[in-house]
């Protein structure tokens, strides 16, 4: 009974750490990016300042905003929070990991996207509708690729639960699976598209014709905007941790001792920092692509994950 309580406390602590660290990751990304592009870099704490500033601001709502518009930030934040609880950040085998598997994780993101698109349409401005239609297009193409990659991974690990799969891969050691390589590439492409990064979307601009995600949330301000921005920072972190868990699980805590937890925190921090540097390099060498090339980009991601599934069936079974 007592150990169960500790597990739940740890799970809650991990969830809180997850949402607390997400703006830090965004700040680190911003800082590395500025350094790489020879610009003056803001402090890594800048996203926290932005969030607290937005939290303190008075809310301005459009006259024709319905309850949907007001509820959406909370729904999006809640769905992202639940998704974050599923992903093992520091330790595997926490009780929250059993809530949902990877497929539900994808569904949480879809829920958030659905309500953001509805809110974009709700207010009736041109940009909201445009952003909603674009976001749904990206989502409709990215989701099958993501699911196919998840299926490929879970066929090897024989589970769709992320925590169990992570532990399996941790104990499997070095196995050169081609299917994992393809699934990794597909996941990276989907992660870039879903978390609105270059080359699919540029989160730093509000240029009318190129906005995807920003166009939908243009009408939000104050507390609502803070929640949505925080949710998208958490989403980026979820994708990063998801990829780290599956491809580089080394160092994650398998028991709940203080030492292994400390190692887990250090390991995941180092890996996230490294992954962020990779993402920054990717964003710096690539230019944002035309919207009409996005289906091709995501079609390629789908083809990659399909190829991963096929190589698993063709090459890795029946040996």
Interface ranges with other proteins (CB under 8 A): 172-179, 181-182, 295-296, 299-300, 303, 306-307, 310-311, 313-319
Min. distance of Cβ 303 from other proteins in angstroms?
Answer: 5
**In terms of CB distance, is 134 or 177 closer to other proteins?**
177
**DSSP of 236-297, one letter per residue?**
HHHHHHHHHHHH--TT-BSS--HHHHHHHHHHHHHHHHHHHHHHHHHHHHSPPPPGGGHHHH
- Can you tell me the distance from the alpha carbon of 84 to that of 86, in angstroms, rounded to the nearest whole number? 5
Min. distance of Cβ 178 from other proteins in angstroms?
Answer: 3
**In terms of CB distance, is 193 or 238 closer to other proteins?**
193
**In terms of CB distance, is 258 or 319 closer to other proteins?**
319
Min. distance of Cβ 185 from other proteins in angstroms?
Answer: 9
Residue pair 59/222 in contact (Cβ under 8 Å)? The answer is yes
Min. distance of Cβ 309 from other proteins in angstroms?
Answer: 10
**Whether the bond into 237 is cis, omega within 30 of 0:** no
Min. distance of Cβ 182 from other proteins in angstroms?
Answer: 7
**In terms of CB distance, is 59 or 172 closer to other proteins?**
172
Residue pair 23/273 in contact (Cβ under 8 Å)? The answer is no
**In terms of CB distance, is 48 or 168 closer to other proteins?**
168
Min. distance of Cβ 133 from other proteins in angstroms?
Answer: 20
Min. distance of Cβ 296 from other proteins in angstroms?
Answer: 6
**In terms of CB distance, is 130 or 181 closer to other proteins?**
181
Tokens 């890795």, residue?
316
**In terms of CB distance, is 183 or 265 closer to other proteins?**
183
Min. distance of Cβ 248 from other proteins in angstroms?
Answer: 17
Helix pair 46-56, 222-247: axis angle to 10 deg: 150
Min. distance of Cβ 229 from other proteins in angstroms?
Answer: 33
**In terms of CB distance, is 106 or 183 closer to other proteins?**
183
**In terms of CB distance, is 220 or 297 closer to other proteins?**
297
């Amino acid at each position: 009974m007592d150990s169960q309580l500790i597990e739940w406390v740890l799970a809650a602590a991990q969830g809180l750490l997850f949402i607390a660290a997400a703006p830090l990751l965004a700040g680190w990304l911003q800082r590395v990016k500025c350094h790489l592009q020879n610009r003056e870099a803001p402090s890594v704490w800048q996203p926290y300042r932005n969030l607290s500033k937005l939290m303190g601001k008075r809310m301005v709502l459009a006259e024709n905003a319905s309850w949907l518009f007001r509820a959406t930030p909370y729904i999006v934040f809640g769905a992202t929070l639940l998704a974050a609880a599923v992903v093992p950040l520091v330790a595997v085998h926490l009780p929250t990991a059993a809530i949902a598997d990877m497929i539900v994780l994808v569904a949480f993101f879809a829920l958030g996207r659905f309500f953001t698109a509805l809110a974009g349409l709700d207010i009736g401005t041109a940009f909201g509708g445009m952003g909603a239609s674009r976001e749904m297009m990206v989502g409709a193409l990215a989701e099958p690729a993501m699911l196919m990659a998840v299926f490929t991974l879970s066929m090897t690990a024989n589970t769709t639960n992320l925590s169990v799969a992570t532990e399996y891969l941790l104990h499997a050691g070095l196995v050169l699976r081609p299917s994992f390589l393809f699934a990794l590439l597909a996941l990276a492409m989907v992660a870039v598209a879903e978390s609105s990064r270059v080359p699919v979307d540029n989160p730093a601009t509000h240029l009318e014709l190129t906005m995807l995600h920003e166009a939908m949330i243009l009408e939000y301000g104050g507390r609502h905007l803070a929640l949505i921005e925080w949710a998208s920072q958490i989403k980026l972190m979820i994708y990063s941790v998801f990829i780290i868990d599956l491809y580089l699980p080394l160092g994650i805590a398998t028991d709940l001792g203080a030492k292994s937890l400390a190692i887990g925190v250090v390991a995941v921090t180092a890996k996230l920092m490294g992954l962020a540097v990779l993402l920054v390099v990717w964003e710096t060498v690539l230019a944002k692509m035309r919207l009409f090339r996005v289906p091709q980009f995501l079609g390629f991601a789908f083809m990659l994950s399909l190829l991963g599934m096929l190589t698993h069936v063709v090459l890795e079974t029946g040996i």
